[in-house]
Amino acid sequence: MTRRLIAATCAVTALISLPAFSQSNVSVYGVLDTALDFSNQGDGTLSRLQSGGAYGSRLGFRGSEDLGGGLKAIFTMEAGIGHDTGTLQQGGRLFGRQSFVGMGTPYGTLTMGRQYSPQFYVFSDSDAFGLGHAPGLMMITRTNATGGTGFILNSIANTSRLDNTIIYESPTINGFKGRALYGTKEGTLGHASGASGHYANGPLIAGVGYTQLKDGDGVGKWKALTVGGSYLIGNTKVFAGYTRDTDDSSRTPAGGGASLRFDLTNIGIQYTVSAALQLLAQVTNVQDKSSNEVGDRDSMVFGVGAKYTLSKRTTLYTSFGTIDNNNGSAYSLGGGLYTGGPVSGDARAKTLAVGMVHFF
């Protein structure tokens, strides 16, 4: 896989240098993020060096070509990288984060390929930690019956990026932008659909987004809904959001199968102390409304963090998160690309991350 990534990089670099691209705009960009993760889930301390504590590490290529008359061709190819081991992410896909081509017009943009869902943009904008760090919304994980760990938001994990999709994005009108997604039925999965409305004007950012993906037999579904945003007051940005994640994928035409559902409600802040220092905090209520729930397995996540900017391209960060477990719940906290450690009993799970991110 690494040889394939190097070959692709060389090929794109060679194309950039060709005369045919003289009127085009093509850029190479990337993120390298590494975190030291220390966690305790009631069974000793787990120490790990991880790629992607705050941001997913990546290498990307982005370009556009002016076709005249208000038209332009655009593309993005983005590879997820576990740079602590040099491996590809997203199951070993070469361009697993994004891979699409499209056309921009005065009436909106149409893109086709592997892309982020409309709901995912609203989800990210509603989280003070940007979905990364120890206390981010996507970082809440749980231990299963076999002792393994996985994210509780199964639907968002399966629909945040979708293959074989067509997305229309409207022009921004008075701060409002809409997105609509349709995914074709190919391979082992069924159709995908989704839409979002996004408003950004002055200090206010707000949105609502929904995505649905059918499983292979067309009976089970992954469904994700988010409503939320942020508001800037002086040096403080306040975040609030509500997310419902429903996983009915185990249902079959013959009936049966559990419905897994988690509702998250969060309130957070980002406080800018200076041009270099930013402080973060967030509290998240986790409600387990699954059909196979036994007892009250709801819980609260408390998180704090700080980011210190060394330059426009390099930032140091740290974050701490904690979550209670009771009545057999087994929640823990991970990072931008990795799950938390296995939980022992009804322990309070605690995670500290210290890391560095470099943009290029």
Divide the 360 residues of the chain into consecutive groups of 10 and give the mean pLDDT of each group. Answer: 51 47 81 94 86 94 96 98 92 96 98 98 97 90 82 93 97 98 90 97 98 89 97 98 95 81 97 98 95 79 97 97 88 80 84 96
CB 90 within 8 A of CB 158: no
Asked if the structure places residue 16 within a domain, the reply is no
* Tokens found for residue 138: 């996507």
Q: Could you tell me if residue 15 is inside a domain?
A: no
Residue 28 lies in a domain: no
Helix segments in the chain, DSSP class H:
2-16, 118-125, 154-159
Residue where the block lists tokens 């996985």: 150
Assign 90 to helix, strand or coil. helix
From the number of C-beta atoms within 10 Å of its C-beta (0-12, 13-18, 19+), residue 233 rates as exposed
Is residue 23 in some structural domain?
no
Q: How far apart are CA 180 and CA 214, in angstroms?
A: 17
Q: Is the dihedral of CA 96, 101, 104, 108 positive or negative?
A: negative
User: Which residue segment(s) compose the domain that 304 sits in?
Assistant: 2-10+34-359
Does some domain include residue 29? Answer: no
Q: Is 292 domain-assigned?
A: yes
| Domain membership flag for residue 26 | no
What is the total count of domains within the chain?
1
* Strand partners of residue 263: 244, 287
Q: What distance in Å separates the CA atoms of residue 123 and residue 139, rounded to the nearest whole number?
A: 13
Report the run of H or E that residue 30 belongs to, with start and end.
strand 24-40
Contact 266, 247 (CB under 8 A): no
pLDDT at site 45 = 87
Q: Is 208 among the domain residues?
A: yes
CATH of the domain at 223: 2.40.160.10
DSSP 8-state class, residue 343: P
pLDDT, position 21:
45
Q: In one letter, which amino acid is 260?
A: L
Q: Are 259 and 252 in contact (CB under 8 A)?
A: no
